[in-house]
A and B are shown apart, each in its own frame.
Chain A
């Protein structure tokens, strides 16, 4: 292998080189901006995470998430392959390109454009065949990328084939980046083929060279194609910051920050900025979003809200309409916590503390020393059948309990928190905490997942076990305090957002149901269950649109024709029951109470 040119330079490398310099500077400035926006504590966390063990974990995460795209593979095999082939193939081409430079032209090591245009600058002398192995690898990975690009182009026309019902609408910057990305690899193939009789090549490039040999007998004909390859790269790199493909470099920054244990504390700056720029606008969240049932509301799904945030436009409509069901966070291949960003946005415009809760101090504590304290919460007060059934179970099991809010409840604070008013929520939390602590109870039993989430996360009731009724009943069953007979009914379990995705309780209610009857599957369950439509997370969603979401969710749940749609949330039950014409709706406590022996 020998160099063809004395200086190893040709003007066609300029578009690429300039683009590369631009993007490196852009990223550098962006990273510095993010680090400046972090507060002192977060920066300490980041510094601490720079130990070898943590770095290995981060490197593994980067490899799995950015190159292999395991999460997309899990969604859809073809879609996963499309992303994997382009990302991994491109990475390998860059890697092998650098290896070639290091091995064959070590004097050019460190020259920015050399690995990219390697085959233009070298010529194969007949003595060595050492390049063959690397050339084969290069052609192989190029073929892999080209298959990915072909899939990507196919996806533009028939996205359903790749498991996506809807895809994101593109903006101008996206189009520039997308089309240049598509052009890069076919042009590279052509360019390398045109010079393959000089530089050597492998199964792809050599064969094409033979095909077009008549045209490229004059090697100068190759230059225009090398120019266009470089220009395509340049256009891609220059349009990168204005397009969705910015996620390619920024996702690495995001993984670093996330693994350091940093969370977003503002909806736009610091960690949030790395999240916003890491959004690849793949559109997986569009299909996931329950609001998508109302076609006009597709524009409020997370991907578009994040785009508005990125362009520093007003995201209020999407941020306030969101049901906060967290499904988009669950399915996001990048792991962007968009719900948190929306919540932070709500806080930024409405942390007013306009509310006045001074009347709460008059609420008297109930004695419940060493016993179970049951807190129904607002929603269970609307569905008294849940607590009556639960009390029936508790009586049967011989559990000593006290009903904390028998004479009317005080809200747990989660709805107020979701509206953005942390100050007001804090007041409610403090009051409830006082009442609970004064009762001297050992266990706090809840039947509402909305309450359960905030009690777990914000209350810090040290020494008091907070437990949801589905988990509690499951414990009673396992310890033999209650016995359940197996009925003939078939059930489908609806995972409430706050219980499933919110606090990770999927198994216990299912175990109970499979003891009490036959548990059927629903097409979208566990992490992917669809919000019932009643969520208190949404502030501005009108009733008719909520109704459509409920109907859609019920349609999915009733796919396998269960006798009863079971849930573990009073709000879900209350929302479902008037609209569920195909089956019955019941809370898990109701079902167990009915099947007690």
Chain B
């Protein structure tokens, strides 16, 4: 039974001042292609894992830019690293290296 009336939804505000920039910079250094992304979504459209889960590299990149890195990591954990996005990317971003490094830099087992 849906309750009617007003409620407060949790804030979706992102405070960029609180984002850990050092990790982001490390990621940029490891995969410079990160900044080349134009969010065309080709990678998400072609993604093998995307057939079964909500994994989307395009969204993961914007999560990282917004400092919501745990969302990105949880999403990319489903990636099979098959390389379709690497071949399809019109900007020539080394997507596999990007995904690997996002997991390495932000993941639980940080390398």
A31-39, A188-196, A358-366, A385-393: which lies at the interface? A358-366
Interface presence of B103 (CB below 8 A): yes
Nearest B-chain residue to A356, judged by Cβ: B77
B10-18, B21-29, B56-64, B92-100: which lies at the interface? B92-100
- Chain B, interface size category, equals 20 to 34
Looking at the assembled complex, report how far the CB atom of A572 sits from the nearest CB atom of chain B, in whole angstroms.
Answer: 11
Looking at the assembled complex, report how far the CB atom of A220 sits from the nearest CB atom of chain B, in whole angstroms.
Answer: 68
Nearest A-chain residue to B89, judged by Cβ: A543
Instruction: Please count how many residues in chain A sit with their CB below 8 Å of the partner chain's CB atoms.
Output: 39
Considering only residues 30-59 of chain B, those with a C-beta below 8 Å from chain A are 32-33, 46, 48-49, 51-53
**Bitwise interface map of A from 402 to 438 toward B, beta carbon under 8 Å scored 1, else 0:** 0000011111010110010100100010000000000
Q: Known: A382-B87, A534-B87, A571-B87. Is A428-B53 also a contact (CB below 8 A)?
A: no
Residues from chain B with Cβ under 8 Å of A357 in the complex = 78, 80
Residues from chain A with Cβ under 8 Å of B81 in the complex = 355, 411, 415-416, 419, 421, 424
Q: Known: A379-B84, A382-B84, A411-B81. Is A360-B52 also a contact (CB below 8 A)?
A: yes
Are B80 and A363 in contact, with the CB atoms below 8 A? no
Residues from chain A with Cβ under 8 Å of B33 in the complex = 542-543
Nearest B-chain residue to A427, judged by Cβ: B80
CA distance A359 to B51 in the complex (A): 10
Looking at the assembled complex, report how far the CB atom of B23 sits from the nearest CB atom of chain A, in whole angstroms.
Answer: 16
Interface presence of A544 (CB below 8 A): yes
Are B111 and A408 in contact, with the CB atoms below 8 A? no
Nearest B-chain residue to A535, judged by Cβ: B83
Interface presence of A350 (CB below 8 A): yes
Are A575 and B92 in contact, with the CB atoms below 8 A? no
Q: Known: A354-B107, A416-B80. Is A408-B94 also a contact (CB below 8 A)?
A: no
Looking at the assembled complex, report how far the CB atom of A47 sits from the nearest CB atom of chain B, in whole angstroms.
Answer: 39
Are B79 and A378 in contact, with the CB atoms below 8 A? no
Q: Known: A378-B82, A379-B84. Is A543-B92 also a contact (CB below 8 A)?
A: yes
Q: Known: A378-B82, A382-B87. Is A409-B48 also a contact (CB below 8 A)?
A: yes
Are B100 and A408 in contact, with the CB atoms below 8 A? no
Interface presence of B2 (CB below 8 A): no
CA distance A416 to B111 in the complex (A): 17
Interface presence of B19 (CB below 8 A): no
Residues from chain A with Cβ under 8 Å of B79 in the complex = 355
Q: Known: A378-B82, A539-B96. Is A354-B51 also a contact (CB below 8 A)?
A: no
CA distance A541 to B8 in the complex (A): 48
Interface centre among B32, B83, B89, by most A CB within 10 Å?
A: B83
Q: Known: A350-B111, A378-B82. Is A407-B51 also a contact (CB below 8 A)?
A: yes
Q: Known: A359-B78, A408-B52. Is A354-B92 also a contact (CB below 8 A)?
A: no
Looking at the assembled complex, report how far the CB atom of A543 sits from the nearest CB atom of chain B, in whole angstroms.
Answer: 3
Residues from chain B with Cβ under 8 Å of A381 in the complex = 48, 84
CA distance A354 to B32 in the complex (A): 22
Are A355 and B78 in contact, with the CB atoms below 8 A? yes
Residues from chain A with Cβ under 8 Å of B103 in the complex = 352, 354-355
Considering only residues 335-388 of chain A, those with a C-beta below 8 Å from chain B are 349-350, 352, 354-357, 359-360, 362-363, 378-379, 381-382
Interface presence of A213 (CB below 8 A): no
Nearest B-chain residue to A536, judged by Cβ: B83
Considering only residues 66-111 of chain B, those with a C-beta below 8 Å from chain A are 77-84, 86-89, 92-94, 96-97, 100, 103-104, 107-109, 111
CA distance A74 to B80 in the complex (A): 41
Residues from chain A with Cβ under 8 Å of B107 in the complex = 352, 354
Residues from chain A with Cβ under 8 Å of B32 in the complex = 542
Are B94 and A349 in contact, with the CB atoms below 8 A? no
Residues from chain B with Cβ under 8 Å of A409 in the complex = 48, 51, 82
Nearest A-chain residue to B83, judged by Cβ: A536
Are A415 and B82 in contact, with the CB atoms below 8 A? yes
Residues from chain B with Cβ under 8 Å of A43 in the complex = none
Residues from chain B with Cβ under 8 Å of A416 in the complex = 80-81
Are A415 and B52 in contact, with the CB atoms below 8 A? no
Nearest B-chain residue to A408, judged by Cβ: B51
Considering only residues 54-110 of chain A, those with a C-beta below 8 Å from chain B are none
Are A539 and B100 in contact, with the CB atoms below 8 A? yes
Residues from chain B with Cβ under 8 Å of A543 in the complex = 33, 89, 92-94
Nearest A-chain residue to B107, judged by Cβ: A354
Interface centre among B82, B92, B104, by most A CB within 10 Å?
A: B82
Residues from chain B with Cβ under 8 Å of A379 in the complex = 82-84, 87
Considering only residues 560-575 of chain A, those with a C-beta below 8 Å from chain B are 571, 574-575
User: Can you report 23 A-B residue pairs in the complex whose CB atoms are below 8 A from each other?
Assistant: A350-B100, A350-B104, A352-B109, A354-B103, A354-B107, A355-B78, A355-B79, A357-B80, A359-B49, A359-B78, A382-B84, A382-B87, A382-B88, A410-B48, A411-B80, A415-B82, A419-B96, A428-B80, A536-B83, A540-B97, A542-B94, A543-B33, A575-B87
A: residues with CB less than 8 A from B are 349-350, 352, 354-357, 359-360, 362-363, 378-379, 381-382, 407-411, 413, 415-416, 419, 421, 424, 428, 534, 536, 539-544, 547, 571, 574-575
10 more A-B residue pairs beyond the given contacts A378-B80, A410-B48, with a C-beta to C-beta distance below 8 A: A355-B77, A359-B49, A360-B52, A379-B83, A379-B84, A381-B84, A407-B51, A415-B83, A424-B81, A543-B33
